[in-house]
Amino acid sequence: MVGSSGSHQKWRNAVTGKQVIVPYHRGRILPLGTMRAIIEGSGIDADRWL
DSSP 1-50: --EEETTEEEEE-TTT--EEEEE--TT-PPPHHHHHHHHHHHT--HHHH-
Residue 33 pLDDT greater than 90, yes or no: yes
At residue 48, the pLDDT reads 86
Q: What is the pTM of this model?
A: 0.69
C-alpha to C-alpha distances, 23 to 9, 15, 17, 31, 43, nearest whole angstrom: 6, 22, 20, 11, 17
User: Which residue type, as a one-letter code, is found at position 24?
Assistant: Y
Residue 2 pLDDT greater than 90, yes or no: yes
